[in-house]
Amino acid sequence: MPIKIPKQMYVIFVNFIMLCLGGFVTIYVAENINAPGYERLYLLPLTYTFCFLILFSRLLFQRFKVFIVVFTVIGFARFVMLPYFIVFNDYYGGRSPEPPLASSMETAIYLMVYELVMVTIVIGILDYFQNKKYKARDTQQPFDETKSYFGYKVFIIIGFTAAIVIPGVISSISFFIPKPDLVDVMEDSDVLHMLGGYMFILAKQLIFIMVTWWTYKKYAATNQMLYVWIAIIALFTNIGIFIGTNRSDIVLVAIVSLVTFKLLFPKYFKMVVFFVGAMIVGIIIVMSTVRNIASISGGTSGVTDFTDNMQVYFGGPYNVAMALETKLVFPEARHMSVLFFDIFRPMIGVNIFVKNLPFDYSNLFFNQRYFYSDHTTQILPMIGQGNLFFGYLLSPIFSVLVVCLAYFIQSKIDRTRSIEMFYFLTLVCTRMGMLMGQNTMNIINDLSYNLALFLIVYYVNKKIVFKKRLGDVRYE
């Protein structure tokens, strides 16, 4: 009989590892820093280590919450790995032709510490109250049977028809290997093209959910491996079919697909996770080539390019400092009309009515400070966006609000008995775990893209029940 290791032992073990890593990086950074403005960079790994020891290690092993897992991993990369590689590689620069001032860099580090502390406090409070209401999911029957798939099937037919009929949609779809010349294809397309693409992606994910649930029931009844293999094929297909070249979207779908598969087929999870990981790495490598992204080192230093990518995607101190100077260089960026556009321009559907308004959103001002050109390749960090509109004191407000929204959605995930609702709520919760390297525009766009259209289809499917015996359709 295998020995069951108490969860507390896992917590102690990861705390020990984090204490060693965090302590080493803190001391290494403090002793070897070599650039003005970066003198307090050691505060980032030091603060994250304390937050991890006090809260995150315990939450990781308390019960599975995808938001906490993603947030903790991204936080480790942003606050521990990035400072280490900045100092180790002596890379204190970035992609801007005019780097931020040393004073801006110092302030950026303090703001990042402030953001992490505030978010940690809010997570601790919300988790305490949510655990009181938590009820464990039945592992034998994690979800209830959906009464009817008629509405879903109709939508799937419509979604695939739209992909075929609407010009340009089918050519935008990649199957495992990213197609060339598709960079930001959805952003630059007309409304009909975008809608057709979104409908196809939703239809594709609904097929994955329906097939995976069907194989789960068949396997439970027959114990035949055939159904497990069908579920694995559906898993890989769901991940491998995508539109455009947005790498984070592919990673998100992979994470949520694996979470769903693990809940239904826990015995075979370890068998597929390695191969899924390898496939994702392969797709991202090919996609980087397709996107033709110029490396900061010109291909001469993989470590420098890795450090630069972490800086860009995880909202490092260089980018936060740039956000602080955006407010100084472009004071008009602080206007409430910009905030209005930040909220409504990313909403799919609403953006049709507001996109032609004479406003700019904050990310455009941020990229203008970054490049002093029309390039828009950098992501305004959320702490920088908060400071832009509300100043230093309230700069973590957007991060705190996203955490609150993530915990609200997590409460719905815990209660839902619908596999499709579980899948799509988990999808948006996963994106929110990346909040510190994102901004409200990314979060709002993801909510409207991955959740709003699904909720409409979900509601219609619940109201329409197809009766095979009578051969008619009735509305409930």
Query: Which of 254, 273, 292 is the endpoint of a domain?
Result: 292
The pLDDT of residue 430: 93
Residue 410: inside a domain: no
| Cα distance between residue 405 and residue 417, in whole Å | 20
- Residue 7 predicted with pLDDT over 50: yes
pLDDT band at 239 (very low <50, low <70, confident <90, very high): very high
257-286 pLDDT tens trace:
999 999 999 999 988 999 898 888 888 777
Round to whole Å and give the CA distance between 62 and 224: 33
Task: For residues 285 and 169, state if they share a domain.
Answer: yes
Residue ending a domain, choose from 236, 268, 292: 292
What's the rounded Cα separation, in Å, for the pair 432 and 256?
Answer: 13
Instruction: Indicate whether 336 and 281 sit together in one domain.
Output: no
- Rounded to whole angstroms, how far apart are CA atoms 371 and 191? 29
What's the pLDDT at 130? Answer: 86
Q: Residues 265, 181: one domain? A: yes
Domain that holds residue 43: 7-138+295-400
Q: Please, what is the average pLDDT of the chain?
A: 87
The structural domain count of the chain equals: 2
Same-domain check for residues 360 and 329: yes
Least confident span in 60-64, 245-249, 306-310, 326-330? 245-249
Q: Using CA atoms, how far apart are residues 66 and 440, in angstroms rounded to an integer?
A: 19
Q: Which pLDDT belongs to residue 361?
A: 86
In a domain, 458, yes or no: no
Residue 194 falls within a domain, yes or no?
yes
The 10s digit of each residue's pLDDT in 92-150 is 988 888 999 999 999 999 999 999 999 999 999 999 988 877 777 666 678 888 878 88
Out of 400, 415, 450, pick the residue that ends a domain. 400
What pLDDT was estimated at residue 185? 45
pLDDT of residue 376: 77
Phi, psi (deg, nearest 5) at residue 51:
-65, -40
- Phi/psi for 177 (5° steps) reads -110, 120
One domain, residues 118 and 172: no
Residue 346: pLDDT band with limits 50, 70, 90:
confident
Which candidate, 333, 385, 313, 395, places its Cα nearest to that of 95? Answer: 313
Whether 299 and 356 map to the same domain: the answer is yes
Instruction: Using the predicted structure, report yes or no on whether residue 367 has a pLDDT greater than 70.
Output: yes
- Within a domain: 393: yes
Looking at the structure, do residues 12 and 101 belong to the same domain, yes or no?
A: yes
More confident: 29 or 343: 29
245/367 same-domain check:
no
431 near 443, Cβ under 8 Å? yes
How would residue 249 be classed by pLDDT, with cut points 50, 70 and 90?
confident
**DSSP 8-state code for residue 180:** T
Which residues touch 456 (CB under 8 Å, ≥6 apart)? none
Alpha carbons 25 and 31: distance in angstroms, whole number = 10
Residues 128 and 160 in one domain: no
Query: Quick check: is 109 in a domain?
Result: yes
Tell me, yes or no, whether 340 and 266 share the same domain. Answer: no
The answer to whether position 56 is within a domain reads: yes
Whether residue 299 sits in one domain with residue 202: no
171 and 267 housed in the same domain: yes
Is residue 79 within 8 A of residue 120, CB to CB? The reply is no
Q: Which amino acid is at 16?
A: F
pLDDT of residue 372: 85
In a domain, 438, yes or no: no
Q: How many helices (H) and strands (E) does the chain have?
A: 22, 4
Q: Please name the residue that has the structure tokens 């079919």.
A: 241
Least trusted range by pLDDT, from 57-61, 300-304, 305-309: 300-304
The total number of residues written for the chain in this structure: 476
Query: Is residue 433, in this structure, part of any structural domain at all?
Result: no
Cα dihedral value 250, 253, 259, 262, nearest 10: -80
pLDDT digits (tens, 9 = 90+) for 377-426: 789 999 999 999 999 999 999 999 999 999 999 999 988 989 999 999 99
**What is the DSSP code (8-state) at residue 177?**
B
29-37: average pLDDT: 94
183-202 burial by CB neighbour count: b if 16+ within 10 A, else e? bebbeebeeebbbbbbbbbb
More confident of the two residues 452 and 76: 76
Q: DSSP assignment of 330-384, as one string? A: -GGGGSHHHHHHHHHTTSTTTHHHHTTSS---HHHHHHHHHHSSS---SPPPHHH
